[in-house]
Amino acid sequence: MKKLRLVIIMGIFTISVIKMLSFSTVQANRSIMVIAHRGANDKAPEETMPAYKIAVQEKANYIEMDLRETKDNQLVLMHDPTIDRTTNGKGEVNQYRLQELKKFDAGSWFNQKYKNERIITLEELINHFGSKTNYFIETRLVDHKLKMEKTLVEILNRKGLIQKHKVIIESFSAMSLKRIHDINDNIPLVQLILCKNQKDITAEKINQWKKYAIGIGLSSDLVNQSLINNLHQNHLKVYPFFFNTQTELAEQKRVIKDGADGVFTNHINDTQSLLK
């Protein structure tokens, strides 16, 4: 009986080791992109300069940001259409001029030590970091119109980031991404998608995406090895994002093992530790 127990214990131990080695081998054989979602948003107010400074210090492969356009056509970093959640002001971003937006406190909501942090422009961010980091930039329609794309590409060109391959542009709007390529087709694009289940990811849609995009960004709930293999066979990379921060790390481990090319993370250090 003792021998049988020993055999069972050794068997369980061996299986565990094989699983660990298998996961480690996956990481060793490919480079997995750590994308700092809205900067280091777990340690500083999202989309502010401190959040991006921490993300760069922690060596995220890319810093990710959302663009909004102001009333005077400036590109600022803000996820929501309004400033209500992340500043002490109220109202839609595009109802304010940049100078007016700069008056609002964009840090106290997160922690008092960030009191008087300000909304920043894309250009201010790039002026600070230059080519020391990589940028994962989300565009969107403005009042249901294509408005920010030309300004964005002009900024990236002027700063030399396109030529140095420091930028990826993402969007839920295929129109916006295609407009980017109309202006400059040297910029890699990622199509973000929201859908209820994998059945919505049809062969027809994949064929359309691969005409202009290098990859797909989608909820981890939809991601499994079969889908990743399908997208890879169609020369599309896979970048999952995570709605539930409590299960984020476990989900990251799963999708990375299944073959994801990168993850949008809200916890940079945890993701890096997972990969190590």
Q: Is 37 a catalytic residue?
A: yes
Instruction: Give the 3-state secondary structure percentages of the chain, helix then strand then coil, rounded to 5.
Output: 40, 15, 40
Q: Is 235 a catalytic residue?
A: no
- Return the structure tokens found at 153: 């590409």
CB 18 within 8 A of CB 24: no
DSSP 33: E
State CA 116 to chain mean position distance: 26
What b/e sequence results for 202-211 when a residue is b if at least 16 CB atoms lie within 10 Å of its CB, and e otherwise? Answer: eeeeeeebbe
Catalytic: which of 79, 128, 235, 267?
79
Cα-only R_g, the chain: 21
Catalytic: which of 37, 128, 144, 165?
37
Residues forming the active site? 37, 79
